[in-house]
Structure 1
Amino acid sequence: MTIDARKTLVNGATALQATDIQHALANAAAGVSLRQVTKKYGPVTAVENVTLDIPAGSYCCLLGPSGCGKTTVLRMIAGHEEITSGDVLIGDRRVNNIPAAKRNTSMMFQSYALFPHMTVWQNIEFGLEMQNISAQERKARVGEMLELVGLSHLGDRKSSQLSGGQQQRIALARSLVTRPQVLMLDEPLSALDENLRVQMRTELRRIQKQFGMTFVQVTHHTEEAFSLSDRVVVMSQGRLDQVATPAEMFRLPASQFVAKFMGDNNIFQGKVLHCAPDPGTGMDVIELGVEGIGSLYSRGYAVPVGSMAACSIRPDLMQIEPYPNAASEKPTPRANHITARIVSIEMTGYVTRVVLMEEKTGKELLYKSPTTAWETGSYAEGQLVTLRWSEGNCVFLPH
């Protein structure tokens, strides 16, 4: 059957309409819950005591470095890995012992795993044939999926003849056509170049929002996770380190690991010297003694005096001033400021990155400025400057 004939069938009176497909996908969406899930490979613990709730219809990204356990979590949800202990639920159904093919989930693999000897149409239709869906409904669903990903004109082409972006779209269509309750994506954009990766993540988010499906994606790119997710899960050494919205995680990383993994944060380690309530915010102002630098002030919640901790300041929330100046000579109470020397200046486009070295300790620091603002100043490599920031922008990191 030609593409034109298939499209005629899709658009005919007996075909499923786009709204029907959309409603079916949205109604199929289910939440995912993990309860104290552990996975061991012999003596090695890959995932330890993970408890996590992913709401139905949300986009969740599992984020972390290689080997942190994020792909293992994804595969346990899909049923491609058996759990050692704990429970996995899809909706209200406990699926620990249910085979992957019967969990009503779908996996979009990093390699796309398309059949090179099949046409685009046959690749998308394959899963429906395995489900014994009628020929008429198969044609309607495949046609709608091709329309959805904008590749109706390529239905008769072999998948091996497609570009990387086109293969990614076909893999997505094949994953959606079976109407899974949960779609899992294992680093689906890693094989694409930067421009195409940005374009395709926009498409992924558009499709997820359009159909209200539950998407769970593995990635090690912070920017990708933040741009796609309703909720980000950061993992470290097989455990959950923080679960939050992208905005919450960006503003308030919960640990030194998260602050470092997000990149560019300036982190100072030291000992808690004092902790006092801040009535205006409901938080505490915490004084941290940093060796070689002195006291730095941040906001957080009550911690024992004498405990080791850290604080973090984003490079875009610092102010830079020539040194010396009046403010440097007479600092105000609770004012965070340090003296540093400019090592390098890198204009990256909209943003200029300035690498500095703290004058007493040699600690490397990063400052960021909009390029248009930076160009109004007259700073140069080798210049001594003052960096300052408020305790309200400085995040306390208890661990």
Structure 2
Amino acid sequence: MPPGGRPDDRGGGGELSTPRLRRDTPERAGLDPAQLARAVADTHALTAGEHPWAAGAVVAVGRGAVLAVEEAAGWAVRYASCDPRTGTGVELAAGDRVPATVGTPFDLASLTKLFTAVAAVQQIERGTLGIDAEVGAYLPDFRGAAAHRVTVRHLLTHTSGLRPELPLYDRPGREERLALLRAEQPSGPAGAYRYSDLNMLLLQQVLERVTGRTLDVLVRDGITRPLGMTATRFGPCPDAAATEDQRRPWAKADRGMVRGVVHDENAWALGGVAGHAGLFSTARDLAVFCRALLAGGSYGPARILGPDFVELLLAEPGLGFALDQPWFMGELAGRGAAGHTGFTGTMLVLDRATDTFAVLLANTVHPRRRPPDNGPRATLCTRLARAVRAAPGAG
């Protein structure tokens, strides 16, 4: 279906559907089972021991319409709090812990940006949004961006010159927080890459102004509902994996153990719906999202983007998506692999060259944030790349 959910009649003799994902063996997916077995073992190892990489994790790997791996490990909720003296977690009693399952929703953190980007490209496809139009044409009251002639393309490619973040959470109310964003001016030249949450916050404002609908409605009606992604939504999400025991000074707000509401402090300050963070989802739902993009924007009878606009989304330099980044894509990087990571421990990567995808959801910030270790993300993608190369008949 096109954005909004109406059937798309392509006039092709009734062949409107693309194959839906099915759970099957690595061999049926054209993947080497030994490499994927190692990926599963890696996932369990990441959640084991006294100080694991993550309390819990879920991995999903597939090729074509086959979901070849779907595995959960560890705990959705393991700790009651973080001991500020030692910086380590205070463990819950065994009976009070919540195991991670393949159906556990995780806080996606910056993977939310990918959905905001798709929602924007849907409006570009419809003609209601111009990719090279100036933000000031849609948001004249956002004086900083308007004065510097920031464009929609700048926002989607992180080339606006805006600084990485803004302490909206320190302002007392929503209007005061948005006033800070309206006044924010780029601190660097447009055209140079500088990753910034503010880009997607501004893009959210553009989309809501253009469509008259809030971002959560745009994502639901244009992406998750047509694709049948029933577990993907903005919070609250009470059954989600826990994230952080947020306290100052290591966090930016004093909120206690966070579960079921967004971890990111700015998204929380804006009510949980933000262009850069706020979505919760499961590995299976994200596998569907990957499959739809790999299939040119279609999944089953639904269409969320036309193939030309998927190409616009995923072609160099990528709109919202990062391309060919070995630091988290490992050996999958190099021929146009696209994806993103999230601060809470999440990752999504799809590779059109091999028709493969990898999803890793984890709560690495439970019970407290720490310096990021992207090795496990890169390792998973490398396992997938090698599973393609080592598959029988791969040549």
Q: TM-score range by the shorter chain?
A: under 0.3
- Between structure 1 and structure 2, the one with the greater Rg is 1
More strand, by proportion? 1
Higher relative contact order (Cα pairs below 8 Å, separated by 6+ residues) = 2
